[in-house]
With several copies, the nearest count.
Chain A
Amino acid sequence: MSFFITSEVKKVAIMTLSGELDSLSSREFQAEIEKVAAESPKDLVLLVENLSFMSSAGLRVLIFSKQKIGPDLSIYIVKPQPVIVETLEKTGLHHSVNIVDEYSF
C-alpha cells in the first residue's frame, strides 16, 4: 500500500458577536468585515450564540461580506438563537449561509 498526502492552507475569519445588532451597531460589524476582507479569508465564521437581536442591517452586512470578499466565501453562522434563524429563513438567507452548531470541516 502506498501513501498519499494533500495539503491546503485556509484562512478563516472568526468573529464573535454579542448583544444587539441594529443599524447603528451594524457599522461596527461592517468595519470588521472590511478589516478582515484585506486578508481574503475563505471562510467567515460568525459565533453568535450571545447575539440576541439582529435586524435587516445585519443581513445587509452578510450580503456585503460576500460581495466584498468574493462569491467563494463560505459563511458559517454558529449557534444562532431561534429568532435569528427565523429572520434568516424569512429572507432566504439560510440558502446562502451555513447555520451550524459548530464550525468544522
Chain B
Amino acid sequence: MESKLFPGTLDSLDPIRQYVKELSQQAGLDKKATYRLTLAVDEIATNIILYGYEQAGRSGDIQVLSELSDAKLTVIFEDKAIPFDPTTKDLPDEEDFNKPLEERQIGGMGIWLTIKGVDEFKYEYVDDKNRNIFIMHVDPTKT
C-alpha cells in the first residue's frame, strides 16, 4: 500500500488529482479511464473538504492509500470528517437530467459522476474514519 497525506482544504484538490493521475498512468490506465478516476477523486475530496470538514466546523486531512494488484487499481480516501456514506445518497435520475437547466437542482452531480465513472465504488466506516474506495480495472498486459 502506497500512502500520501493531503490537508483537507480546497488547495489540495489539484495535488490530489495530479497524484492520482500518476498512479493511473503507472497502472497503465488509458486516457479516458485516468480522467474518470481523477474526476471521481476530485468530487469525493471536494465533498469531504466542504461538507465533511468545513460545513461541520471541523478540520483534518485526507489520507490517500493506493494499491495495484489483481488487475485492479484501488485508491482509498480516509478522513476523520463527519460520517457520510455517498452510496446511500439519493442520486438524481434521468428525469432530473432531462429538465431544463433553469428548473434543475443545483448540485447532486458529484456523487453521480463518481459512481458512474469508476468501475467499482465502495464506502466503509472503520476506526472512526470514512473510507471511500475507488477501484479501476486494469488491463494486466499494460502494467
B-contacting residues of A (Cβ < 8 Å)? 1-2, 20, 22-24, 53, 55-57, 59-60, 62-64, 66-67, 70-71, 75, 82-83, 86-87, 90-93, 95-97
Contacts and interface: CB of A to CB of B under 8 A. Distances in A.
A71 B100 contact: yes
A13 to B, nearest CB: 16
Contacts, number: 84
B59 interface: no
Contacts of B98: 92, 95
Tier of interface size on chain B: 20 to 34
A60 B92 CA distance: 14
B43 A24 contact: no
Contacts of A64: 106
A32 B98 CA distance: 27
Contact of B101 (A1, A57, A87, A93): A93
Interface stretch (B34-42, B70-78, B80-88, B130-138): B34-42
A1 B32 CA distance: 19
Interface stretch (B60-68, B109-117, B119-127): B109-117
Nearest to A72: B102
Contacts of B32: 82-83, 86
Nearest to B99: A92
Nearest to B103: A71
Given A56-B43, A56-B110, A67-B101, 11 more contacts: A23-B13, A23-B50, A53-B42, A55-B43, A60-B106, A62-B101, A63-B104, A64-B106, A66-B101, A91-B113, A96-B100
Nearest to B110: A56
B14 interface: yes
Nearest to A75: B101
14 contacts: A23-B13, A53-B42, A55-B39, A55-B46, A55-B113, A67-B101, A67-B106, A83-B35, A87-B113, A91-B97, A91-B113, A92-B99, A95-B97, A97-B101
